[in-house]
Amino acid sequence: MCLAIPGKVLSIDGNTAKIDYGEGTVRNADISLVDASVGDYVIVHAGFAIQILDAKEAKETLKIFREIIEEDNA
């Protein structure tokens, strides 16, 4: 199973962006498929940003992921 995870663009260098997935998790992703700017939320799949999300939708999705992880760890 593959997941696409939302994250916030922290910085951009060419086609590579630092993405904050929350809780201290920051990774690089290729943003060549979207027209993302610093501060945007994007969905990342297999290292590529594939869609820009609005902030409210992204934050709700991240909240649901955290709840699933917490439930799984209980």
What is the pLDDT, as a whole number, of residue 1?
61
Residue 2 has pLDDT above 80, yes or no: no
pLDDT, position 62: 85
Share above pLDDT 70 across residues of the chain, in percent, rounded to a whole number: 99
pLDDT at site 53: 94
Give the domain 5-73 fold: SH3 type barrels. (2.30.30)
pLDDT digit string, tens, across residues 18-52: 999 888 899 999 999 999 999 999 999 999 999 99
Look at residue 13 and tell me whether its pLDDT is greater than 80: yes
Q: List the beta bridge partners of residue 44.
A: 5, 49
Per-domain residue ranges of the chain: 5-73
Burial 22-53 (b: 16+ CB within 10 A, else e): beeeeeebbbeebebeeebbbbbeeebbeebb
